Structure 1
Amino acid sequence: MDLNDVKTIIQDFFQENTVTIIGSGLSVAEGIPGMGSLSIELQDKLPDKISEKADVDNWKAISDRLKVGEGLEEALHSQKPTSIVEEKIRETTAAFIRSAENEALNNVLSGAKQFRLSDYLQKFNIRNNGLTVITTNYDRLVEYSCEMNEIRVDTLFVGKFICQFSPDESKYSFCKSIYKLKGQSRVEYSPKVTVLKPHGCLSWYHINGCACSVPHLEKNNCLIITPGINKYREGYNEPFDTHRARANAAIDTALRYIIIGYGFGDDHLETHLMRQLNSNKPALILTYSLSDKAVKVVKGCKNVIGICNRDNGTLVINKDGESFFPDVNLWDIREMIKEVF
Structure 2
Amino acid sequence: MSDVNYKKQAQDYYNKAPLIILGSGASAAHGMSGMAALAKYLTENINISGLSTGEVTVWQNFCDKLTAGVDLESALHQVAVTELLTSRIISTTWSLLNTEDINIYHKSLQNQAMFPLSRLLSHMFESSLTRLNIVTTNYDRLAEYACDQARIHHYTGFTHGFFRQLAAPNEINSARRVNIWKVHGSLDWFKSPLDDIVALSNIQGIPVNYKPEIVTPGTQKYQTTHLEPYRSIINNADQAITMANSYLCIGYGFNDEHIQPKLMARCQRQNIPITIITYGLSDAARNLIKDGKAKNCLAIERGASDDQSIVYSSLDKTSVTVERNLWSLEGYLSLIM
Q: What TM-score does the superposition give when structure 2 sets the normalisation length?
A: 0.91
Query: One-letter code of the match for 2:309?
Result: T
The yes-or-no answer on 1:156 pairing with 2:151 is: no
Q: Distance in 1 between matches of 2:110 and 2:134?
A: 26
Q: How many angstroms apart in 2 are the aligned matches of 1:8 and 1:17?
A: 15
Q: Is the 8 A contact 2:277 2:332 kept in 1?
A: no
Letter aligned with residue 138 of structure 1: Y
Report the counterpart of residue 123 of structure 2 in structure 1: 123
Q: CA deviation at 1:327?
A: 2.2
- Judged with a 3 Å threshold, the aligned counterparts in structure 2 of structure 1 residues 50 and 329 are, in CA distance, closer, same or farther, namely farther
Amino acid at match of 2:318: E
**Equivalent position of 1:206 in the other structure:** 191
Q: Distance in 2 between matches of 1:334 and 1:2?
A: 24
**1:308, CA displacement in angstroms?**
0.4
Of 176, 184, 188, 1:191 maps to 176
Indicate how the Cα distance of structure 1 residues 16 and 191 shifts in structure 2: closer, same or farther if over 3 A, else same. farther
Correspondence for 1:265: 255
Q: What's the C-alpha RMSD, in Å, of the aligned pairs?
A: 1.9
- Counterpart pick for 1:302 among 295, 301, 304: 295
Of residues 307, 321, 324, the one that matches 1:328 is 324
2:12 maps to a residue whose letter is D
Which shifted more, 5-14 or 110-119? Answer: 110-119
- The reply to whether residue 338 of structure 1 matches residue 329 of structure 2 is no
1:201-240 to 2 correspondence within 5 Å? 201-207=186-192, 208-220=194-206, 221-240=211-230
Q: TM-score, normalised on structure 1?
A: 0.90
Whichever residue aligns with residue 170 of structure 2, its letter is K
The C-alpha deviation readout for 1:173-206, integer Å capped at 9, x for no partner, is 22xxxxxxxxxxxxxx411100000100011112
Which amino acid letter does the alignment assign opposite residue 297 of structure 2? V
Distance 1:301 1:50, change over 3 A: farther
**Secondary structure of 2:81's match?**
coil
Deviations 1:142-176 (A, max 9, x none): 00100100110011211312111022xx43422xx
Is residue 206–residue 212 contact of structure 1 (8 Å, CA) maintained in 2?
yes
2-side partners of 1:32 and 1:222: how far apart?
18
Distance 1:254 1:17 in 2: 8
Partners in 2 of 1:293 and 1:105 — Cα distance? 32
Query: Quick check: 2:116–2:329 contact (8 Å CA) kept in 1?
Result: yes
The structural deviation recorded for 1:304 is 1.7
Q: Which residue of 2 aligns with 1:289?
A: 280
Q: Within 2, Cα distance between the matches of 1:3 and 1:193?
A: 36
Query: Deviation digits for residues 191-239 of structure 1, max 9, x if unmatched?
Result: 1100000100011112212221111444442100001121111101111
* Residue number in structure 1 paired with 2:106: 106
> Per the alignment, do residues 316 and 326 of structure 1 end up closer, same or farther by CA in structure 2, a change over 3 Å counting?
closer
Please say which of residues 277-286 and 329-338 is displaced more in the overlay: 329-338
Amino acid at match of 1:173: I
User: How many residues end up aligned between the 2 structures?
Assistant: 325
2:69 paired residue number:
69
Residue matched to 1:173: 172
Structure 1 CA distance, aligned partners of 2:80 and 2:98? 25
Do the aligned residues in 2 keep the contact of 1:16 with 1:124 (CA within 8 Å)?
Answer: no
User: Partners of 1:173 and 1:56 in 2: how far apart?
Assistant: 46
Shift of 1:324: 2.4
The answer to whether the Cα contact below 8 Å between 2:42 and 2:89 also exists between their aligned partners in 1 is yes
Q: Any stretches of 5+ residues in structure 2 without a counterpart?
A: none
**Post-superposition CA distance 1:234-264 (Å, at most 9, x none):** 1011111111000011101111100110101
Give identity over the alignment, percent.
Answer: 30
In structure 1, give the amino acid aligned to 2:334: K
Tell me how far apart the structure 1 counterparts of residues 107 and 130 of structure 2 sit (CA, whole Å).
Answer: 32
Cα-to-partner distance string for 1:41-61 (whole Å, 9 max, x where unaligned): 001001555542111111001
More deviation, 203-212/264-273: 203-212
